Structure 1
Amino acid sequence: MRTALVTGANQNIGFALVEELAARWEPADLVLLTGRDPDRVADAAARAARNPATRGRVEGRVLDVTDSEAVAKLAAEFTDGIDVVVSNAVTRITPDRHAEQTDEFIAVANGGAHAVLRSFGPVLRPGGRLVIVASSLGTLDHLPAPLHHLFDEVSLDEVEAAVESWRAAVHDGTAARQGWPEWVNLPSKVAQVAAVRAVATERRARDLTNGTLIAAVCPGLVDTPTSRPWFDDFSHALTSAEAARRVLDFVLADPVDPALYGELVRFGRALPWRGKGLRTPSTDPGPHSCGGRNSRSPG
């Protein structure tokens, strides 16, 4: 029996990931759909289970990824290990209240990703997959050069310290003077990818020996309520279902491509951490990245 867990799975990409995974897996396999609100979790799990394409089992579990103790407690239940973990949780932000929403955004997108990496990495089965849903905005060149040392070739502890330093600077009004971008998505996404790289660096030799994958993935521009406030042109955007299929094509690919291990992967290709275009040809890169010229801001 295989087991998977998806965070932020009540709706949109997260929900589509649950449905797609349950459609690909067997009746004995289990997909855990998680979110913060008990009613929404129960409703989403019931909808996924009723999908005619569903073959695997779907169960809802309440999980607030900002509560690191709750994440650790859930991970501890997997005494025999877990096969697939997708950290997808994110908080919706809007242009009119962007600054007010910074704390919650950081807590979910960064604190949640850190908690998942710390707690589920150790219980990942050999040959398992742990992926953080991130953005093409997560490459280091999206930050000013003086900030690069905070995220380049550092430990997860150091990434967490850098995120907390950034958050504190936002609160005390020194963020701009220190060079932090105004838009929360830029430091947040860079930090997400840096966290993945930190964990992957420690595990790389062992994981590649047993076929395990740790990575960040950009699903592309997806038409969801989270994206709508920030983008003008959705004519080439993916639906949540299309994005989920692309993400899982990468996540479930066997064998693991060593060139993609620990990287930020978009449409099957690794985005260079320090910028300068795509590398590692694998599949069609597609027409859009997560973010881009059609956005009102670097969201």
Structure 2
Amino acid sequence: MQPDDLVLLTGRNDQRVTDAAREVSRLPGTRARVEGRVLDVTDSEAVARLADDLRARYGGVDIVLSNAVARLLPEESQVERADEFIDVSNTATHSILRAFGPVLRPGGRLLVVASSLGTLGHLDARLHHLFDGATLDQVEYAVESWRSAIHHRTAREAGWPVWLNVPSKVAQVAAVRALAAERREHDVATDTLIAAVCPGMVDTATSRPWFSDYSQAQSPAQAAEAVLDLVFSDHVDPALYGELVRSGKALDWHDGTPPVEQDRLVTP
């Protein structure tokens, strides 16, 4: 990072964003300018305005990390929290991809933090056609169909699992794959990377309630290393482009098995 580089941290809470920006700016070795910006990623127009503003001011962006999540506790109703969860995890991801894909400069990185649950095999086979080879428009339609099925109490009979995290993560990865499919030739030629990233099990306030044993979980700082390895790699491995990446390797999109529905089920 150089002194004229800008690191922009976003979040919904003004005080937390301000505090985070201050903390990062004071880290040893920080040379770039660090700023905080209030942004609700579920507001598609606000996401688009930020992307347009950065293009107008700086000509584009070099690194975009999408890592928003809605905290969900085991005792909470998956149905009652569905709209918020889908808005944060999926609608927001679609907005980030649509707004920041066009302003990503050659050689840049656009990474969506997902999960190993994001491979297609974790869904019932009846649902695979909704996401396999889908365009971003088709992924958005599939997500809204899932949302509607939840509201109409028809999700289970259609094959959707009760646990929101499974279809949500599959849809996230499918959205990344959709955008990447449109841009692959140009991006690979310019050493640009669009991918989903699975950092593995991470010990956070969001994940801890779901695990009976988190002794092997990484700290957030340790988990960030897998993401930063992709950000700062000298060259993009074409095998990783558009894929779900874990520990530097692409996971098989068609791998996985549908989960057994139970109260505490977690795969990092």
Q: Could you state the TM-score of these two structures normalised by the residue count of structure 1?
A: 0.84
Question: What residue in structure 1 maps to residue 65 of structure 2?
Answer: 86
- Equivalent position to 2:100, from 116, 120, 127: 120
Partner amino acid, structure 2, of 1:126: P
Instruction: Flag structure 2 segments of 5+ consecutive residues without an equivalent.
Output: none
**8 Å contact from structure 2 (residues 109, 193) kept in 1:** yes
1:26 offset after TM fit, Å? 2.5
1:30 offset after TM fit, Å? 1.2
Question: What residue in structure 2 maps to residue 225 of structure 1?
Answer: 205
The worse-fitting range, judged by mean Cα deviation, of 197-206 and 268-277 is 268-277
1:39 offset after TM fit, Å? 1.6
- CA RMSD in angstroms, aligned pairs only: 1.6
Question: What residue in structure 2 maps to residue 282 of structure 1?
Answer: none
Q: Is residue 2:138 matched to residue 1:158?
A: yes
- Equivalent position to 2:15, from 39, 61, 73: 39
Which fold has the larger relative contact order, with Cα–Cα distance below 8 Å and residues 6 or more apart in sequence? Answer: 2
Partner amino acid, structure 2, of 1:248: L
Q: Is residue 2:48 matched to residue 1:69?
A: no
Q: Work out the CA distance in 2 between the residues paired with 1:243 and 1:219.
A: 5
The runs of at least 4 consecutive aligned structure 1 residues that moved more than 3 Å come to: none
Question: What residue in structure 2 maps to residue 180 of structure 1?
Answer: 160
Q: Work out the CA distance in 1 between the residues paired with 2:252 and 2:231.
A: 19
Question: What residue in structure 1 maps to residue 264 of structure 2?
Answer: 296
Q: Work out the CA distance in 1 between the residues paired with 2:16 and 2:220.
A: 18
Question: What residue in structure 2 maps to residue 288 of structure 1?
Answer: none
1:91 offset after TM fit, Å? 0.8
1:109 offset after TM fit, Å? 0.7
Q: Is residue 2:114 matched to residue 1:134?
A: yes
CA deviation map 1:153-174 (0-9, x unaligned): 0100000000000011111100
Q: Work out the CA distance in 1 between the residues paired with 2:193 and 2:43.
A: 25
**8 Å contact from structure 2 (residues 120, 256) kept in 1:** no
Partner amino acid, structure 1, of 2:75: D
Q: Could you state the TM-score of these two structures normalised by the residue count of structure 2?
A: 0.93
Q: Is residue 2:245 matched to residue 1:265?
A: yes
1:47 offset after TM fit, Å? 1.6
Q: Work out the CA distance in 1 between the residues paired with 2:227 and 2:114.
A: 11
Q: Percent identity?
A: 63
Instruction: Flag structure 1 segments of 5+ consecutive residues without an equivalent.
Output: 1-24, 278-290
